[in-house]
Amino acid sequence: MNEVIIATKNKGKAKEFERIFGSKGIQVKTLLDFPEIPDVEETGLTFEENAIIKADAIAKLMGKMVIADDSGLEVDALEGRPGVYSARYAGAEKNDSANTEKVLQELAGVLERDRTARFRCVLAVAAPGEKTVVYSGTCEGRILTEPRGTNGFGYDPVFFVEGKGKTMAELPPEEKNKISHRADALKKLEKSLDLGNGEGL
Ligand SMILES: O=c1[nH]c(=O)c2ncn([C@@H]3O[C@H](COP(=O)(O)OP(=O)(O)OP(=O)(O)O)[C@@H](O)[C@H]3O)c2[nH]1
Ligand SMILES: [Mg+2]
């Protein structure tokens, strides 16, 4: 395999997939390269449902194998919110800093030990005429009271990774890509697909 299509319009995800696959000589195309492809409505109630909805719809439209990523943040003190609504938590315009601000406000007064959270990522691989398969990954952490760092995207500046002593946005991209929910799911996907030179991602 020397090229892979990721069914996403999210620039932050696109960068991460480009870096991870690129380091193995696999070229990444995303929906940002195909502006004529319409948006797919994410009507599912779980990451898995949404990943499958996106992958199936785009594989059908493009007539090719694609990988879709549905991901988000689950905060325990908020009963798992923002969850599948992570991209649009503060409104349909998908504003990362407004979403983060909303989570911080909802957590106001919640003690450090009760601010546990995780990122979750479900990857769905779909190809015309084949059964769609999914791979799931997580990354545990806790939500700080203020943003720190400028790398990454989304909620990364407030997501503190205990083992690293840093927020996701303070980690260099190559570090995030070793420990993230997306990396976790990709490792599982990679085991069951023939990706590149067989040496893994
Ligand atoms: O801090 C973060 N670091 C991450 O690594 C990360 N991964 C996901 N997220 C959040 O979850 C939403 C995905 O929602 P989502 O899967 O529907 O994607 P999206 O709508 O942005 O693009 P698309 O892939 O659907 O085209 C994103 O927008 C972010 O808010 C992350 N936040
Ligand atoms: Mg989306």
- Tens-digit pLDDT profile for residues 64-107: 999 999 999 999 999 999 999 999 999 999 999 999 999 999 99
Average pLDDT over residues 158-166: 97
Q: Which ligand is nearest to the CA of 7?
A: 1
Average pLDDT over residues 162-188: 97
- For a mutational test of ligand 1's pocket, the pick from 10, 47, 48, 167, i.e. the residue with the most ligand atoms closer than 8 A to its C-beta, is 10
Cα of 50 to ligand 2 centre, how many Å? 8
Dist. CA 62–CA 44, nearest whole Å: 22
Dist. CA 162–CA 53, nearest whole Å: 33
At residue 191 the predicted structure's pLDDT band, cuts being 50, 70 and 90, is: confident
The DSSP 8-state label assigned to residue 82 in this structure reads B
Interface predicted TM-score of the whole assembly (ipTM), two decimals: 0.98
Judged against a pLDDT cut of 90, whether residue 200 lies above it is answered with no
Please state, rounded to an integer, the average pLDDT across all residues of the chain.
95
Cα of 180 to ligand 2 centre, how many Å? 18
What distance lies between CA 124 and its chain's CA centroid?
12
φ, ψ at 58 (rounded to 5°): -75, -35
Q: Which ligand is nearest to the CA of 74?
A: 1
pLDDT at 182: 98
- For ligand 1, atom 32, name the residue with the nearest CA: 154
User: Which of the residues 56, 69, 70, 96 is marked catalytic?
Assistant: 70
Nearest ligand 1 atom to the CA of 70 is 16
pLDDT at 47: 98
Decide if 73 contacts 103 (C-beta within 8 A).
yes
Dist. CA 123–CA 55, nearest whole Å: 9
Dist. CA 40–CA 36, nearest whole Å: 12
- Tens-digit pLDDT profile for residues 98-143: 999 999 999 999 999 999 999 999 999 999 999 999 999 999 999 9
In whole angstroms, how far apart are CA 118 and each of 13, 91, 97, 106, 156? Answer: 17, 22, 18, 16, 11
Judged against a pLDDT cut of 90, whether residue 198 lies above it is answered with no
- For ligand 1, atom 28, name the residue with the nearest CA: 87
Q: Which ligand is nearest to the CA of 8?
A: 1
Which string of b and e fits 59-75 if b means at least 16 CB within 10 Å?
Answer: bebbeebbbbbbbbbbb
Average pLDDT over residues 37-58: 97
The tokens describing 49, both together, are 């449902």
Judged against a pLDDT cut of 80, whether residue 195 lies above it is answered with no
Cα 150–Cα 156–Cα 160 angle in degrees, nearest 5:
105
- For ligand 1, atom 23, name the residue with the nearest CA: 8
Dist. CA 116–CA 160, nearest whole Å: 9
Q: Show me where the domains of the chain are located.
A: 3-192
Dist. CA 83–CA 79, nearest whole Å: 9
Catalytic site includes residue 70: yes
pLDDT at 1: 78
φ, ψ at 49 (rounded to 5°): -60, -45
Nearest ligand 1 atom to the CA of 71 is 16
Query: E-assigned strands of the chain?
Result: 3-6, 27-30, 66-75, 116-126, 133-143, 159-161, 166-167
Nearest to 65 by CA among 120, 5, 15: 5
> 167: Cβ below 6 Å to ligand 1?
no
At the topology level, CATH places domain 3-192 in Maf protein (3.90.950)
Kind plus residue range of the DSSP H or E element containing 98:
helix 96-106
Cα of 70 to ligand 2 centre, how many Å? 7
Judged against a pLDDT cut of 70, whether residue 187 lies above it is answered with yes
Average pLDDT over residues 140-165: 98
